[in-house]
């Protein structure tokens, strides 16, 4: 994936966003606080995925750079964010307050120091708050991650964690194709295919206390991941 913006920042925190006006501001604040306290030359990039609410306006008011991706889908939003990013390190995180953007050191530092090419969060190691993940989703992620480990010969434990990162160099070697939630699986599959150095770190998953409609569709999204795993074909060759 070629990233066309001038490379002049150390970090881009990319947040795919669909109708998150009640939470995106808090997440932007946290990420900017992390960037500031660490003295990093960075940005928060919110990808408004054609929201029907005031998400884009709120994100801008809190200091984020905002771009719009009208093609719906988690993968489409992240791909647009990667293409517009300007950082040498790219961290991707959901802007629904379920992840901690104040403490991104364990993701940022190994990538900035070029110890690894990709970092994937592990919610099962970091802890999942009561009510933060439905039981069906909790077991579904375990099953699909197990299938992914077998299929792609990797030891990544939590394929679907919404907090992860990669170097810009790594992003530029991959051509992503998926447009939905299965992007999370594609990212790991491509890293394994290209023998990238992948580090796993424990991250906590918090319960979102704001009233919001969940974007997850357990059965539909689960089948999309499973279909990708079964029919994966490296299109980059």
User: Per residue in 13-55, pLDDT tens?
Assistant: 999 999 999 999 999 999 999 999 999 999 999 999 999 999 9
The total of structural domains in the chain comes to 1
Task: Give the model's pLDDT for residue 65.
Answer: 98
Which residue has better confidence, 12 or 221? 12
Query: At 149, which CATH number?
Result: 3.90.550.10
Classify residue 220: in a domain, yes or no: yes
Q: What's the Cα-to-Cα distance from 64 to each of 30, 48, 88, 214, 228, rounded to whole Å?
A: 11, 11, 18, 23, 33
Kindly state whether residue 33 falls inside one of the protein's structural domains.
yes
For residue 1, being part of any structural domain is answered with no
Spatial distance between the Cα atoms of 230 and 185, rounded to a whole number of angstroms: 12
User: Does 32 fall in a domain?
Assistant: yes
Q: Are 153 and 235 in contact (CB under 8 A)?
A: no
- Is position 197 within any domain? yes
| Residue 148: domain span | 9-231
The answer on pLDDT for 235 being more than 70 is: no
Question: How far is Cα 141 from Cα 146, in angstroms, rounded to an integer?
Answer: 8
Is 25 a member of any domain? yes
């Amino acid at each position: 994936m070629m990233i066309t913006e001038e490379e002049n920042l150390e970090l881009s925190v990319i947040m795919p966003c669909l109708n998150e006006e009640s939470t995106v501001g808090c997440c932007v604040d946290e990420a900017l606080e992390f960037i500031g306290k660490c003295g990093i030359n960075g940005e928060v990039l919110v990808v408004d995925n054609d929201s029907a609410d005031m998400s884009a306006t709120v994100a801008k008011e809190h200091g984020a750079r905002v771009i719009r991706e009208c093609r719906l889908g988690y993968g489409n939003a992240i791909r647009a964010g990667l293409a517009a990013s300007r950082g040498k390190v790219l961290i991707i995180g959901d802007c629904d307050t379920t992840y901690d953007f104040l403490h991104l050191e364990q993701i940022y530092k190994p990538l900035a120091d070029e110890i690894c090419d990709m970092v994937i969060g592990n919610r099962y190691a970091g802890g999942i708050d009561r009510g933060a993940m439905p039981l069906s989703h909790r077991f579904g992620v375990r099953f699909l991650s197990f299938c992914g480990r077998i299929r792609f010969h990797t030891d990544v434990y939590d394929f679907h964690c919404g907090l992860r990162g990669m170097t810009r160099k790594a992003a530029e070697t991959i051509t992503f194709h998926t447009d939905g939630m299965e992007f999370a699986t594609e990212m790991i599959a491509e890293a394994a295919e290209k023998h990238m150095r992948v580090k796993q770190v424990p991250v906590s998953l918090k319960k979102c206390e704001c009233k919001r409609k969940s974007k997850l569709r357990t059965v539909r999204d689960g089948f999309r991941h499973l279909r990708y795993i079964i029919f994966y074909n490296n299109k980059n060759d």
